[in-house]
Amino acid sequence: MVSADAVHAGQAAYKGWILKWVYDALVLGFSNHALWKCPTSGLLDLYNANVTSNHLDVGVGTGYYLDRCRFPDPEPRLALMDLNENSLSFAAKRAARYRPETIRCNALEPIPFDGPGFDSIGVMYLLHCLPGSMAEKAVLFDHLRPLMNSGAVLFGATIVQGSAPRGAAAQRLMDLYNGKGIFSNRQDTVEALDHELGKRFPRRDIALVGCVAVFRAFAD
Ligand SMILES: C[S@@+](CC[C@H](N)C(=O)[O-])C[C@H]1O[C@@H](n2cnc3c(N)ncnc32)[C@H](O)[C@@H]1O
């Protein structure tokens, strides 16, 4: 059973000053490359290869990828979803040229959205922030599936443990983040994520890059 406190902890770190001064430099500039061994440039490539002109992003953080990626159309429909108001407003400002709509909600609960569906959904670095086992986190996919148009792609990445290779510094930082509730990935494995995606999507691919599981799943 996932507690409300644990859900709160998974998004509480994203304060305005962290988003403005720390996140891009520390996570995207340093940790991805030096600790998780999954360079940000590769994750941006994932966006460029999969983002469509009708895109929903869930767990938006600073909106870095939305700002930097190449949408196939200069005027995409863009929706941003996050539990944290700071992340939503920071990312919305950064992507203001696309006039995004914003939806504030907890992705672990049914999503109050009845607008038109999307052709792509990004869930970058969201799952390792969500509390619970991989089976409990995967309800996120059940909530997002009805928002996907036929043939739509859901893509993202998440930091995992299990057999994923990670150095001592990476493990120490993961332990620290898990202790504070910023991460909840002690039991997350690439195999468990693959299993949950396979239960819900007819076609998916998943690969480990460093200790990051990078994945895509396609709606029928
Ligand atoms: C690690 S950041 C990822 C930011 C961005 N996608 C990236 O890769 O740089 C995680 C984001 O997920 C949001 N988040 C955490 N728990 C959430 C939840 N239960 N529902 C919706 N969003 C959540 C946080 O507020 C934060 O914006």
Distance 87 CA to ligand 1 centre (A): 8
Tokens of 13: 């770190």
For residue 25, what pLDDT band results from cuts at 50, 70 and 90? very high
Alpha helices, DSSP H, located in the chain: 4-12, 16-17, 23, 32-34, 40-50, 64-68, 85-94, 134-137, 139-144, 168-180, 190-200
Q: pLDDT value at position 179?
A: 98
**Total count of domains within the chain:** 1
Range of the domain at 150: 4-108+117-218
Average pLDDT of 6-31?
A: 96
| Eight-class DSSP state of 73 | S
Tell me which residue has tokens 């994750």: 43
Ligand 1 centroid from CA 2, angstroms? 17
CATH assignment at residue 69? 3.40.50.150
Please write the tens of the pLDDT for every residue from 96-142.
999 999 999 999 999 999 999 999 999 999 999 999 999 999 999 99
Q: In what order do the strands lie in the sheet with 118-124?
A: 101-104, 77-82, 54-58, 118-124, 148-159, 212-218, 203-209
Atom of ligand 1 nearest to the CA of 91: 27
Contact between 182 and 10 under an 8 Å Cβ cutoff? The reply is: yes
Supply angle C-alpha 25, 26, 27, rounded to 5.
105
Beta pairing partners, 118: 148
pTM of the full structure: 0.98
Mean pLDDT along residues 5-29? 96
Query: Above 90 in pLDDT, residue 1?
Result: no
Pocket test for ligand 1, best of 62, 83, 105, 214 (most atoms within 8 A of CB): 83
